[in-house]
Amino acid sequence: MQYLGDKGVVIWRAVASIAWSVLLLPVTATVFVLLSRFSPFHPIQWISDCTSLLAASSTIFSLVVLCGVVLITGFFNLEFYTLVPSIPCSRMALLGTVLHPRQCVHSLVYCTMGMLVMWCASVTIGGRYSTLGTPCRQSQSGEVVTCLNEYHLFILLAGAFMGYSHSFLGVVQNMYYVSFQPIQQYKYPRFKGCLPMVVKCSVIQALYSARNFAAFYFFFGYAPKTWISSTLNLQIDSSLQPLDSLTGFLDFSLLYHLSISGTFLYLTWYLTVLLFRIYVTEAYSFPVQSTFTEDAEQCLPKVLAEKNTLVMKFLALQDLALLSQHSLSRRLEVFSLSQPGGHAHNWNAISRECLSLLSELTQRLVAHQDAIASNGRVKSQSASSDTRSASSSCSGKESYLVSGTEDIAETPRLSVPLRTPGSVFKSSVGDVDSPFSSPAIRRLVGQQDPQSPCFGTVQSPHIMRRGPKLWSASTGLSHLVAASFSEDQFGVVQTTLPNILSCLVVLLEAVDRHFKLPHASSKPVRTICSMGDSTYKTLRFALRAALKTAIYKITTTFGEHLNAVNISTEHRKRLQQFLEFKD
Amino acid sequence: MFPSPVPIYTDGSDAEDHVSSAFVIRHRKKRNIHHQTQLSLAANAIILAGVVCVWLQPCDLPSPQFTRDTLKGHSRPESSSRSAFLDQRDTLWMRSAGAWRDAGLHGLLDEITNSAEEVPRFLAVGSACVLALLRWASSFHGSLFPHLTLSSDEMVAEFSQMLDWSDSALRSFAWHPHTDKFAVALLDDSIRIYKSNSSATPTLKHRCQRSVCALQWKPLCGSALAVACQSCLLIWHVDPTSLSTRYCSNTSVSLSLSLSLSLSVSPITSIAWSPTGSLLVSASPVDTAMMVWDVAAESAVPLQRVGGGGVTYLSWSPDGSRLLAATPSALFRVWETRMWTCERWPCLKGSCQSACWSPDGGCLLLSMQGERVIYALTFSDLTGGSKAASVVADLSETSFPGPDGDLTVGGEVCSLSWDPRGERLAVLLKGDSQAVNHPSVIAVFKTRSSPVFELLPCGFVMGEAGAEPRFMQFHPHFQHGALLTVCWSDGRISHVPFYFSSAGLLGGDSPQQALASNTADHSSNKLYTEQIS
C-alpha cells in the first residue's frame, strides 16, 4: 500500500467499517419489516406480505435513504472519534460542551437523520402511518378534505427526539471514545460477541426514548401539531382521538411500532459505531526497521514518536505490547544493532520514547499534586478563594487532561490551572481531575511490562554466566555462543535499565501519592447498559495495577541481580519491597 | 530401599488404538505419535515396594486442621431461616420484593402463585402459567445438558476441584505463586491466609462470599486474591505488611476488598489468572461464555462459543500462551491467547475432569470423568501440535502388598498436578469406599519431557487411617525439589516434600543421598527419591 500519511490507515479502516454497516443494512431492515408486520395468527399471509414489501420500490428507496444515513453516521464517527475521553467536571462544563457549536451541528444532523430513518420506518410499516395527509370527511359539511395524519407526525417527531437524545447521550456517555480491548480478537468473533450487547442496548435505549418522548408529546405535542397543520393547510380530524391525551397513549399498536422503529434506528447507529470501533482498534503491525529509507517513516520507533495523529501512536504502542509478548523474532529485531555502526538505534528510540511518556506523566502528576497542595494552603488563608468559578477552572482542567499525550491547539492553556479543593469536590460528577484519562499511558505501561520477557530471554544466559560453578565444561559450547551473542544485546538493554527502573519507581510513587488525595481512590458508579464506553473511569486503577505488575515482572525476572544495577538508595529500598512481595 | 522402577515401553500402535477409541480425531487423520511411553500400573507391580505413607512437615509451613464441628456453615439462604421465627405476615409487596431479591423472577412468580388469595385472579393464573412454561423450558434445556437441573450448590460440588466439596471442611486452597503463603476457604465461607514464620492468620469474610469454589492469587502481585463465589467474583487485597487479622467488608471496604464483580450468572466454578497477572478469566457451568476480566479496569469481554453447555474448569498454561476450558459435556476447548481463537476437542466419553500443563506449556495432561487413564496433548507453534490425544498412563486397579495386607490402588483419575519444574506429577486416584483396602491415594510419578515424554512411577502418598486426599497442589517455588500440599478429608492440610536436584540443571547424578522409606512411618523422616537420569 502506498503510504498515505498517518491518517491513511485510519481512513481506510473507517471506510471498511462503513461498507460493512451498509452491507448489514438489508439484514436489519428485513428483521424490522418482519417485526413491523408481525401477525402470529396469519403466518402465511405475514410472510408473503413481507416478501412482497421487501421487493417493493418504496422499500428500495427507503434503503437508499438509509444508506445515506449510514454514510453520514460513519463520517461523523470518523470526525468525532476520540482516544482521550472528554470528561466535563461540572454540570456547567457539560452544558458548555452540549451548547458548543460543533455539538449543535451534530445534534441538528442527528435530528434530521432520525426523522429520515423514522420516515422510512413509517413508510415501511405502511397503513395509517404512511403519509402526512389523509383524506377525511368534515363533520359539518361532509365534504372530503385532506387532514393531518397525527400518527405520521408522531413517528417523525419521535425520530427527531431520538436523534437529539442520541447526540446528547453521545456527549454524556462519551460515545465517541474509542478504547482498546484488553484482549485481541479477530474482527468477526469480536463483532459476534458484541452483537447481543448492542441489540440489548438499542432495545433498552429505544424503550427509554419512547417513554420520554411520550411524556414530551403529551405536554408539548400540541404546538408542532397546530404549526404543521396551519403551515401545510391541513385540517385536524376531530373525529379521531388526539394523541396527546391519556387515551391516545393507550394505543398499544402505536407504542409497539414506536419502540421497534426506535430500536431499528438505534441499532443502525450503534452498529456503525461498533464496527468503527472494531476496525480502528484492530492491531496493526508496524515494521520494526526497514531496509529502505523511504519506508523509515512507517517504522515502529518513528511512529511511536508521532505527535500529530494520536491514533497511530496508540496503534504503535499496542503493536509494541503485542510484539513484546508474542513475537520472539520481532523482539530480536528490536534488540538488534545497526549495520554498519553497531548502534542500538531501535531499542534506544523505543525506550526513549516510552520513558519520555512515563516521565511526562510523572511530571504532570507531581505538578497536579503541587497545585492541590498549594491550593489547600491558599484556602486555609482565605476561604473566599472557594468562590472561584468552577467552570473556569474546569475548562482549564479539561484542556490540561486532554493534552495528556497530544499537543493540540489548546496547549496554550496548558499552564497548570489553579484549582480550589471545593471545585475538586464539586467535580465528582465526572470524577476525574487527573491526567489519568490518557489511555496511552496505560498502553505504555502495558508495554513496559512485557518488555521484560525480552529481558528474560536475554537475561537467562547471563544468569548462567554469573554462576560459573554451575558450569562444568560439559554444558557445551552452544551455551557460550548463545551467551556471548546475547551479551551484546543485553548490553543494549542494560544501559537503559537503571533509567527504566527509576522512572517506573518514581511514577509509582507519584501514583501512590495521587491515590492519597481525597476521592481519588473512590470507585466510579457502574453503568448497567450503555453503548458508551465507561472504561476510562477506571483508568487510574488500571494504571496503578499495570505499573505494579511491570515492576514485579522486572524484579522477578532479574531477582537479586538488580542489586548490581546502579540506582539510588530509596529506589533500591522500594524495589526491595517488590523483591520480597511486600507491596 | 525399593528397586528403581522399570518403565514399560510400548510401541506407538497400542497407544494410538486407545486414542482413536476415546477421541474423535479432529481432522480424521491419524498422526504418528512420536515415541510415547505408556505406563500402566498393572504392568508395574514392581513398584509396590514404593508404597509410602508420608506424614511430615517440612520447613516451617503451617499445616492447620479444620473440623466440621468447629466451623458452622451458614450456607442456607436467608429465606429458609425465616421458618424459625414467628410468622409475621408482610404485605404482598414486601414479600414479592424479597422474593425478587432472593430468587429473581422465578421466586417472584412463585410468591405470586402461592398467595393466590391476595392477588387478582388473572395475575395468579398468569404467573402460574408463566412458571409452568419456565419450568418446561428449563427441563427441556436440562434434558440437553443434565447439569443445568442441579441446584447452585450441587453444581459447585459437582465441578469443584475439591473432591466431595459439600462434605468437606475445606472448600478451596491456593498457594501464593511467589511467597510462602496460602489461602484456604472453609466451610463457614470464610477464607484464612497462612504465612510461614507468622502466626497471624488474616480472615476474610464478606456477605457475598458464599460457597467458595475456587481461589487464586494474582501472579506478579503481593496481595490480590480472586475468589469465585456463588453469585460473584471477589478480589481481595490482603496487605502483606498489615497486622490486621480480620478483614470484613463492612468495616474497610476500600482497604481490603477491592471489588466484587457481579455477574448475571451463577455459580462461578473456576477462575484463572493469566501468568502475567493482567487478565482474569472466570467461568460458570451455566454460561457458555467465559468472561475475560481486566480486573483493574473492571471491564470484561465475554468469549462465547456455542456448545458444551457451560465452562467448568479453566487452566492457563504457565507460559500464558494457551488456556484450557472444559465444559460439562464431552467437549473441551483449548484457546490460544494471542487472538483468542479456540480448538474444539470433542471426546467420546465423559467430560474433562482435571488437567495440568507442563511448565513450558507444550504438553497438556488430561483426565476424563470416569476414566482410568491420563491423556496427553502436545502443542507446538511450529507443527501445530498433536491431532489427537494420546494415552500416556493407564491407572486401572492393581493390588500391592502393603504394610497391612494387600492394598488395591487405582481407579478414576480425579485430579492432576504437575510440579513447577516439570519433574513430578501427582495423580489423585479415586478409591472405592465400599471395598476394604481400596482407598483414594495420590500416585506420584517422575516426569521428563525431553527427549521423549516419560512417566516413571515414584510412589504413593496416603493419609492417616480414614483420611482421604481431597485436593492437592504443588508449591510454586520450592527450592529443594517439589513440595506437594494435600488437603485431607479430615480437614488437615499437610505438605509432602520431594527432595531432588533438578535434572535439567545438572544432568548428572544427584549428589543428594538417596534415601527411601518404605514403611508407613509417621515420624518426621524425609522422603528422598532417587534421581533417575
On whether residue A195 sits in a domain, the answer given is yes
Q: Which sign does the torsion angle of CA A447, A448, A451, A452 carry?
A: negative
CB contact under 8 Å between A182 and B292, yes or no, is yes
Stretch A345-362: mean pLDDT: 77
DSSP B471: E
User: Could you tell me if A285 lies within 8 Å of chain B, comparing CB atoms?
Assistant: no
CB contact under 8 Å between B220 and A549, yes or no, is yes
On whether residue A503 sits in a domain, the answer given is yes
- Say how far apart CA B93 and CA A7 lie, in whole Å: 59
Contacts of residue A186 in chain B, CB cutoff 8 Å? 339, 341
Q: Identify the pLDDT of residue A372.
A: 74
How crowded is residue B85: how many other Cβ atoms within 10 Å of its Cβ? 7
Same domain, A123 and A162: yes
* Cβ proximity of B234 and B209 under 8 Å: yes
Q: Identify the pLDDT of residue A414.
A: 24
User: Could you tell me if A535 lies within 8 Å of chain B, comparing CB atoms?
Assistant: yes
CB contact under 8 Å between B297 and A552, yes or no, is no
Q: For residue A576, what are the domain limits?
A: 293-371+461-523+530-581
User: Could you tell me if A544 lies within 8 Å of chain B, comparing CB atoms?
Assistant: yes
Contacts of residue A324 in chain B, CB cutoff 8 Å? none
Confidence of residue A384 (pLDDT cuts 50, 70, 90): very low
The model's pLDDT over B375-420, given as tens digits with 9 standing for 90+, comes to 999 887 766 667 788 899 999 888 888 777 788 888 899 999 999 9
Same domain, A327 and A249: no
Same domain, A100 and A209: yes
Counting residues of chain B whose pLDDT is more than 90, the rounded percentage is 18
The model's pLDDT over A132-147, given as tens digits with 9 standing for 90+, comes to 888 887 767 777 888 8
Q: Decide if pLDDT at B86 tops 70.
A: no
Question: A30-68 burial, b for 16+ CB within 10 Å, e for fewer?
Answer: eebbbbbbeeeeeeeeeeebbeebbeeeebeebbebbee
The model's pLDDT over A541-566, given as tens digits with 9 standing for 90+, comes to 777 777 777 777 777 766 666 677 77
DSSP codes of every residue in B507-533: -S--SSPP----S---SS---B-----
Stretch A315-342: mean pLDDT: 71
Which CATH homologous superfamily contains domain B8-71+157-499? YVTN repeat-like/Quinoprotein amine dehydrogenase (2.130.10.10)
Residues 324-343 of B with CB under 8 A from A: 337-341
Domain endpoint, select from A251, A281, A311: A281
Q: Decide if pLDDT at A57 tops 70.
A: yes
Q: Decide if pLDDT at B119 tops 50.
A: yes
* Cβ proximity of B532 and B63 under 8 Å: no
Q: Decide if pLDDT at B460 tops 80.
A: yes
Q: Which residue has the higher pLDDT, A564 or B481?
A: B481
Q: Decide if pLDDT at B95 tops 70.
A: yes
Q: ∠A103-A107-A111 over CA atoms, to 5°?
A: 170
Same domain, A158 and A27: yes
State residue B344 phi and psi, 5-degree precision: -95, 130
Same domain, A238 and A350: no
- Say how far apart CA A89 and CA A393 lie, in whole Å: 10
Q: Identify the pLDDT of residue B204.
A: 86
On whether residue A576 sits in a domain, the answer given is yes
CB contact under 8 Å between A182 and B297, yes or no, is yes
How crowded is residue A15: how many other Cβ atoms within 10 Å of its Cβ? 13
Checking DSSP bridges between strand B280-283 and strand B289-294, what pairing results, if any? antiparallel
Q: Identify the pLDDT of residue B433.
A: 81
DSSP A109: H
Residues 193-222 of B with CB under 8 A from A: 220-222
Same domain, A249 and A118: yes
Shortest CA distance from A548: residue in chain B: B221
Q: Decide if pLDDT at A47 tops 80.
A: yes
Q: Identify the pLDDT of residue B72.
A: 65
- Say how far apart CA A317 and CA A312 lie, in whole Å: 8
Q: Identify the pLDDT of residue B74.
A: 54
CB contact under 8 Å between A535 and B254, yes or no, is no
Stretch A475-497: mean pLDDT: 40
Please report the beta strands in B419-499, taking only residues with DSSP state E, as ranges in sequence order: 424-429, 441-448, 454-462, 469-474, 481-488, 493-499
Residues 23-52 of A with CB under 8 A from B: none
Confidence of residue A127 (pLDDT cuts 50, 70, 90): confident
Minimum mean pLDDT range among A39-43, A440-444, B107-111? A440-444
Residues 450-479 of A with CB under 8 A from B: 450, 470, 474
- Say how far apart CA B300 and CA A565 lie, in whole Å: 38
The residue of B305, B317, B339, B382 whose CB has the most chain A CBs within 10 angstroms, and thus the best one to mutate to test that interface, is: B339
The set of residues, in sequence order, having a beta carbon less than 8 Å from that of A497 and lying 6+ positions away, is: A565
Stretch A518-541: mean pLDDT: 61
Confidence of residue B285 (pLDDT cuts 50, 70, 90): confident
Q: Decide if pLDDT at B296 tops 80.
A: no
Q: Which residue has the higher pLDDT, B396 or A494?
A: B396
Contacts of residue B241 in chain A, CB cutoff 8 Å? 582
Q: Which residue has the higher pLDDT, A469 or A95?
A: A95
Rounded to a whole number of angstroms, the distance from the CA of B310 to the nearest CA of chain A is 16
* Cβ proximity of B369 and B350 under 8 Å: yes
Q: Identify the pLDDT of residue B466.
A: 82
Instruction: Assign A27 to helix, strand or coil.
Output: helix
Rounded to a whole number of angstroms, the distance from the CA of B254 to the nearest CA of chain A is 8
CB contact under 8 Å between B294 and A182, yes or no, is yes
Confidence of residue B81 (pLDDT cuts 50, 70, 90): low
Q: Decide if pLDDT at B531 tops 90.
A: no
Same domain, A559 and A496: yes
Mean pLDDT estimate for chain B: 74
Counting residues of chain A whose pLDDT is more than 90, the rounded percentage is 24
Q: Identify the pLDDT of residue B272.
A: 94
Q: Decide if pLDDT at B137 tops 90.
A: no
Same domain, A20 and A159: yes
Question: A325-362 burial, b for 16+ CB within 10 Å, e for fewer?
Answer: bbbeebbebbbbbeeeeeebebbebbbebbbebbeebb
On whether residue A453 sits in a domain, the answer given is no
Confidence of residue A532 (pLDDT cuts 50, 70, 90): low
Q: Identify the pLDDT of residue A523.
A: 58
Q: What is the ipTM of this complex?
A: 0.77
DSSP codes of every residue in B209-246: --S--EEEEPTT-SSEEEEE-SSEEEEEE--TT----E
Q: Identify the pLDDT of residue A548.
A: 79
Q: Identify the pLDDT of residue B100.
A: 78
Same domain, A249 and A362: no
In angstroms, the first-to-last Cα distance of chain A is: 49
| Closest CB to A542 among B297, B303, B320 | B297
How crowded is residue B358: how many other Cβ atoms within 10 Å of its Cβ? 21
Checking DSSP bridges between strand B170-175 and strand B441-448, what pairing results, if any? unpaired
Confidence of residue B530 (pLDDT cuts 50, 70, 90): very low
- Say how far apart CA B494 and CA B471 lie, in whole Å: 11
- Say how far apart CA A497 and CA B74 lie, in whole Å: 53
Q: Decide if pLDDT at B374 tops 90.
A: yes
On whether residue A232 sits in a domain, the answer given is yes
Domain endpoint, select from A235, A254, A281: A281
Confidence of residue A450 (pLDDT cuts 50, 70, 90): very low
Residue identified by cell 505490547 is A321
Rounded to a whole number of angstroms, the distance from the CA of B261 to the nearest CA of chain A is 10
Domain endpoint, select from A281, A307, A332: A281
Counting residues of chain A whose pLDDT is more than 70, the rounded percentage is 69
Mean pLDDT estimate for chain A: 72
Q: Decide if pLDDT at A429 tops 60.
A: no
Confidence of residue A473 (pLDDT cuts 50, 70, 90): very low
Same domain, A225 and A306: no
State residue A118 phi and psi, 5-degree precision: -70, -30
Stretch A299-325: mean pLDDT: 75
The model's pLDDT over B494-504, given as tens digits with 9 standing for 90+, comes to 999 888 887 55
Confidence of residue B17 (pLDDT cuts 50, 70, 90): very low
Stretch B49-73: mean pLDDT: 61
Edge-first strand order for the sheet with B390-394 is B39-40, B390-394, B373-378, B363-368, B352-357
Q: Decide if pLDDT at A89 tops 80.
A: no
Q: ∠A538-A539-A540 over CA atoms, to 5°?
A: 95
Q: Which residue has the higher pLDDT, B45 or A118?
A: A118
User: Could you tell me if B254 lies within 8 Å of chain A, comparing CB atoms?
Assistant: yes
Stretch A11-19: mean pLDDT: 94
Domain count, chain A: 2
Stretch A34-55: mean pLDDT: 88
Q: Identify the pLDDT of residue A32.
A: 94
How crowded is residue B248: how many other Cβ atoms within 10 Å of its Cβ? 15
Same domain, A148 and A243: yes
The residue of B223, B294, B342, B506 whose CB has the most chain A CBs within 10 angstroms, and thus the best one to mutate to test that interface, is: B294
The residue of B279, B340, B509, B533 whose CB has the most chain A CBs within 10 angstroms, and thus the best one to mutate to test that interface, is: B340
Contacts of residue B223 in chain A, CB cutoff 8 Å? 583
CB contact under 8 Å between B296 and A523, yes or no, is no
CB contact under 8 Å between A582 and B241, yes or no, is yes
| Closest CB to B179 among A189, A549, A581 | A581
Residue B311 grid coordinates: 465452562
The residue of A174, A183, A479, A580 whose CB has the most chain B CBs within 10 angstroms, and thus the best one to mutate to test that interface, is: A183
Q: Identify the pLDDT of residue A537.
A: 66
How crowded is residue B236: how many other Cβ atoms within 10 Å of its Cβ? 26
- The H or E element containing residue A298 is none
Counting residues of chain B whose pLDDT is more than 70, the rounded percentage is 73
Q: Identify the pLDDT of residue A445.
A: 38
Rounded to a whole number of angstroms, the distance from the CA of A562 to the nearest CA of chain B is 17
Q: Identify the pLDDT of residue A257.
A: 93
Q: What are the sequence ranges of the domains in chain B? A: 8-71+157-499, 78-153
Q: Which sign does the torsion angle of CA B197, B203, B209, B211 carry?
A: positive
Same domain, A519 and A565: yes
| Closest CB to A553 among B223, B276, B304 | B276
* Cβ proximity of A290 and A303 under 8 Å: no
The residue of B264, B298, B336, B505 whose CB has the most chain A CBs within 10 angstroms, and thus the best one to mutate to test that interface, is: B298
